[in-house]
Amino acid sequence: MGIERYSISVHFAQAAVQAARHCQLDEAALLSAAGISPRLLENVHLRITPDQFSRLMRSLWRDADDEFMGLTAQRCRNGVFVMMAKQAVRCRTLRAVYHHLSRFYNLTNDSVQLALEVEGTEASFSMGLSDPDRDSSFLLRDFFLLLWHRFPSWLIGQRIPLRHVAFEFAAPAHQAEYRLMFPCPARFEDSTNRLIFDAALLDAPVVQTPDSLRSHLQRAPLDWFTRQAYYQVYTRRVMDHLEKQRHLAAADIASTAAELHLTERTLRRKLLAEGTRFQTLKESMRRDLALHYLNQPSLPIAQIAHQLGFSEASAFTRAFKQWTGESPRAYRDAVLEREDRPSHRKKGTQL
C-alpha cells in the first residue's frame, strides 16, 4: 500500500468549506471539483483521500485568490507562496530558509508573524496571528505549521525531526490527527504556535534546485498531504507488516506477532501502551484502501469488496457505511461527478 492511500479527517474539509462560505464562494462547485458529496460532510467520522483534500484546497485558494483562505484580516494573494519558494530554493542552509520565510511573510502580510529563535541546542520556528479568532477551526494554523515543516524538509532532502509541535489553543476535537501530521508529540495552550527541533539541523544544506522546485510545485499541495503517517514504534511496525500483505483480510495478530518476533500477548500490550489495538489498525487500513479503490472508476465495486476480503458486496457495503455513513455507490458517484465536471480554472499563477 502506497503512502498516497492514507486518509484525512473530514474535519479539514469541513473547515475549508466554512472558510469558503466566509469568502462567499460557491461551496457546491468546490466540493464537486474535489469529488466530495456535500452529504459526506455531515459525518464527523468520515475520512477523505489526500487527492480530494488537495483538489479542495487548490480550488479554495484559486477562487478566493487568498492562500490564507479568508482566515486573516489581510489577504495573501494566490501565488505568493510560489514567489517565496522560488527565492527559498536558492538559500544555502535550513537556517537561511527559515530566516527567509520570516522576512518574506512579515514584510508582505501583517496578519502573520513568523520568527526563528535559537536557544542553546533548541530551535523554534513560530507563527503568530494578529487575529486568531478568525481561524476558529484552526485550519490556517494546522495547515501552515504542517507546511513550515514539510516544505523546508523537502528543501534539505530529509525530514526535520521535531522534538514537539505546540499550539496556542486548547486541544481540539481533531487532536488525534496531529499524530498523522507531525512526527512528534503535540502540546496545546502554549504561548504561540511553533515547531521545536534540534538547532544543529539549521546548518543542513539546501539540496533542491529551481528545476526540482518546478516539479514540486506542480504536485503541490498533494505531496504535503500524502507524507507517511507518523506512528509510534510498534504501531508503525504493525502497519508496515500489514501494508505488505496481499490478502489483508486474512492477516491476524498471531501471524503478525510471529513476523515481528514477539509473542501475541507482548504485541497486544505494546499496542495498548501506544493507545491502539491490532484490529483497529487493520480496519483503518481496510477503510483507507476502500477510499483509494473507490477513487479508481475502472474498478468495479464487487471487485473492490473481493480485494478487501469481503465475502460479498453487501458485506462491504455494510462495513463502508459504518466507516463513512455512505454507501460505496454514493461515494463512487461523487467521484464520477468530479471527473465529468468541466474544468473552470482561472488564469493566473497556481500554487
| Residue ranges of domains in the chain | 77-225, 233-339
d(CA 111, CA 105): 9
User: Grid coordinates representing 217?
Assistant: 510545485
Helix (H) and strand (E) counts in the chain = 16, 7
154 falls in which pLDDT band (50, 70, 90)? very high
Q: Which amino acid is at 293?
A: Y
State the pLDDT at residue 41: 82
- Among left, alpha and beta (phi > 0; psi -120 to 50; other), residue 204 is beta
- Render pLDDT for 3-53 as a digit per residue (tens, 0 to 9): 344 678 889 999 999 999 999 999 999 999 998 888 778 777 778 888 889
The CB density around residue 299, as the number of other CB atoms within 10 Å, is 14
Listed range (5-14, 127-136, 210-219, 329-338) with the worst mean pLDDT: 329-338
pTM of the model: 0.71
pLDDT for the residue 73: 94
Buried b (16+ CB within 10 A) or exposed e, 101-124: bbebbeeebebbebbbeeeeeebb
Tell which wins on pLDDT, 19 or 341.
Answer: 19
CA atoms of 338 and 35, how far apart (whole Å): 5
Q: How far separated are the first and last CA of the chain, in Å rounded?
A: 28
**What is the share, in percent, of the chain residues with pLDDT greater than 90?**
56
Question: Is a pLDDT exceeding 50 seen at residue 84?
Answer: yes
What is the pLDDT confidence band of residue 346, given thresholds at 50, 70 and 90?
very low
CA distance 196 to 117: 10
Q: Quick one: cell of 181? A: 501530521
CA-to-CA dists, residue 328 to 68, 173, 291, 335, angstroms? 34, 27, 9, 11
**CATH entry, 233-339, from 1.10.10.60, 1.10.10.350, 3.90.870.10, 1.10.390.10:** 1.10.10.60
For residue range 234-289, list pLDDT tens digits in order.
Answer: 887 898 888 888 778 888 999 999 999 999 999 999 999 888 899 989 988 888 88
Q: Which residues contact 104 (CB under 8 A, 6 or more apart)?
A: 84, 87
